[in-house]
Structure 1
Amino acid sequence: MEVFHIPRRGSMLMWAMAIQLILCRISVFATDSTTACKLISESKSERSILNKLEPLAHKNITADVTNGDDSYTYVFQLCGDADGIHLAGVIQKDKKAEKKPTVIGRYNATQAIGGSDWVMLIYGSGDTYDAHCSQETRKAIIMISCNRNTDMGPLEVVLEDRERTRDCFYLFELDSSAVCPVIVSHISSGSIILIIVFCLVTVYLVGGFLYQRLIVGAKGMEQFPNYAFWVEVGNLTADGCDFVCRSKNRDEAPAYRGLSTDALEEQPEERDDHLLPM
């Protein structure tokens, strides 16, 4: 008789909790992007510029500024709630006064302008001025420049330009390697082949030397891998060069004109023993 095992209620509850945790993690990773930024005028070029800043997304970057009796803390976040304030991209907090932080710019009104090694991010629709700039809304401009030595540098407050009737803004600077251009390799295919050949030769020599010395027990020049083969190749190469490059021996010109080479040939030895007195 076949018995079916019915899962217990406790195990079913654990499986449900595990699935919920996985879904929560997936939702967290899905929101960890620049898609939360709403462009004022949606375009592929601006969206691609924002995608370059992905490594900076959802990270609070702060800067402290003291000007006379005033002391402020600025918090910037890319496409996320700065200091937990809904839709706030940049906020200003007064360290001395216990009051609500001022929203300088919101990421639901974003503009992105980029160059080869910089990005200018603009957050609009901030809180309105009280007595400046015709009581228009605040605006934050974050200038992000290329710096290959840091993933995310400190935030610097450059100025607050509010002494005008319109288009007032806060200017910030930030260094990051995220906006740096990709370094294109200029190594040619021939150089790559030479590098590969050099690596193979190095492995052959080192590996062969270790094998000959440690396994075979060779000494001296015999430690060189395939020593006999390479010696034979060297001899054959030398013979080939001698055959191709060297010419045949030629007869030397006679020392005196009018004499043939036959006359200069060695004459047979004449014996004069018969001339001696008996």
Structure 2
Amino acid sequence: MKVLSCVVGLGLLVMLCGGDTSTDKSPTEKCELLHENKSERKILDELAPLLNKNFSVMKKENEESYTYVFQFCGDADGVPGAGVVQINDKTKAKTIVGRYNSTKAIKGSDWVMLIYENGAKYNSHCNGANRKAIVMISCDRSTDTGPLDVVLEDRERVECFYLFEMDTNIVCPVIESKLSAGSIILIVGVCLVAAYLIGGFLYQRLIVGAKGMDQIPHYAFWAEIGNLAADGCDFVCRSKNREEPNAYRGVGSEPADEEPEERDDHLLPM
């Protein structure tokens, strides 16, 4: 009985400890990649905010009008398996343009290209190939999810496709703010000076009871520093009157004082 109890207890312990063996599921698991890989799955996961939302646009072609509905990793307009569906506004017929079980994802610096393949076959175009939808999702920081737009339907190639565009801030790169070492030192210095002035002011006013200019911390010291700085500036920057040096005077440069003329007329015989 003791052995049986131990076995039962061990089994319960294993069930409790290993009961949650499932791994975290991707929110975009409904989107099946043509070639499953981590990089494309990561791109799809970044678009998770677009889940469970229908985006539609109407376009007129000649005399006919079509409405295109796109849903990320979901049934567009409720059509099972359809990532993009085309609706004839007159007959209400629905054509699958691309399926989310045949997905490709390509990422750029500020855009994501989502490709849904294996849509309905063309009747008389593209050699009966399957339709393919390409949704170009571009960065626009001013909008959460912009409207869907039809760019073109290329039916002149072997691999025909429909091209759509949509803007959203989901694919925008994160703006990193980087501070240089000089900026960090300047910010720290300003904070220290502010803390010194505010703390010193409060101490002088509340503890010492100072009034007026004496509330400035170490006012006498800073006043002396200011006076010394002013004296230095006065000495270096300001010009003062100086005695002019004696200039060299050349001979005859200035007339010499004339001595009084001695008259000897009285010595002449009369």
TM-score range, shorter chain: 0.5 to 0.7
**Alignment gaps of 5+ in structure 1:** 1-29, 247-278
Find the counterpart in structure 2 of residue 41 from structure 1.
35
Task: Name which of structure 1's ranges 230-239 and 58-67 shifts more when overlaid on structure 2.
Answer: 230-239
1:130 paired residue among 110, 123, 140: 123
Provide the rounded CA distance (Å) in 1 between the counterparts of 2:74 and 2:214. Answer: 69
Query: What whole-Å deviation, never above 9, does each CA across 1:56-113 have from its counterpart, x for those lacking one?
Result: 22221111112232111111111122122222111111212133x2111111100011
Are 1:177 and 2:169 an aligned pair?
Answer: yes
**Alignment gaps of 5+ in structure 2:** 1-23, 236-270
Provide the rounded CA distance (Å) in 1 between the counterparts of 2:75 and 2:207. Answer: 67
Give the counterpart letter for 1:133 in structure 2: C
1:105 paired residue among 98, 107, 119: 98
Find the counterpart in structure 1 of residue 142 from structure 2.
149
1:81 paired residue among 75, 79, 99: 75
Task: Name which of structure 1's ranges 195-204 and 142-151 shifts more when overlaid on structure 2.
Answer: 195-204
- Whether the 8 Å CA contact 1:123–1:139 is kept in 2: the answer is yes
TM-score (norm 1): 0.63
Q: CA deviation at 1:51?
A: 2.4
Are 1:232 and 2:226 an aligned pair?
Answer: no
Residues 130 and 235 of structure 1: CA distance in aligned 2, closer, same or farther (over 3 Å): same
2:159 paired residue among 156, 167, 174: 167
- Whether the 8 Å CA contact 1:32–1:57 is kept in 2: the answer is no
Provide the rounded CA distance (Å) in 2 between the counterparts of 1:114 and 1:104. Answer: 22
Q: CA deviation at 1:157?
A: 0.2
Find the counterpart in structure 2 of residue 117 from structure 1.
110
TM-score (norm 2): 0.65
Give the counterpart letter for 1:195 in structure 2: I
Q: CA deviation at 1:39?
A: 0.5
Q: CA deviation at 1:217?
A: 9.4
Root-mean-square deviation over aligned CA pairs:
3.5
2:50 paired residue among 50, 56, 76: 56
Give the counterpart letter for 2:117 in structure 1: G
Look up the SS of the partner of 2:151 in the other structure: strand
Residues 238 and 138 of structure 1: CA distance in aligned 2, closer, same or farther (over 3 Å): same
Find the counterpart in structure 1 of residue 253 from structure 2.
none
Matches of residues 209-248 of structure 1 in structure 2 within 5 Å? Answer: 220-222=212-214, 224=216, 226=217, 229-235=218-224
Residues 89 and 195 of structure 1: CA distance in aligned 2, closer, same or farther (over 3 Å): same
Provide the rounded CA distance (Å) in 2 between the counterparts of 1:211 and 1:87. Answer: 73
Provide the rounded CA distance (Å) in 1 between the counterparts of 2:212 and 2:192. Answer: 23
The percentage of counterpart residues that share the same residue type is 56
Query: What whole-Å deviation, never above 9, does each CA across 1:186-206 have from its counterpart, x for those lacking one?
Result: 312441242244245446656
Find the counterpart in structure 1 of residue 87 from structure 2.
93
Q: After TM superposition, where is structure 1 displaced by more than 3 Å over at least 4 residues in a row?
A: 199-224, 236-242
Are 1:158 and 2:144 an aligned pair?
Answer: no
Q: CA deviation at 1:34?
A: 2.2
Q: CA deviation at 1:158?
A: 0.6
Residues 213 and 68 of structure 1: CA distance in aligned 2, closer, same or farther (over 3 Å): farther
Look up the SS of the partner of 2:44 in the other structure: helix
Matches of residues 195-206 of structure 1 in structure 2 within 5 Å? Answer: 195-199=187-191, 201-202=193-194, 205=197
- Whether the 8 Å CA contact 1:91–1:102 is kept in 2: the answer is yes
Find the counterpart in structure 1 of residue 183 from structure 2.
191
Provide the rounded CA distance (Å) in 1 between the counterparts of 2:192 and 2:87. Answer: 62
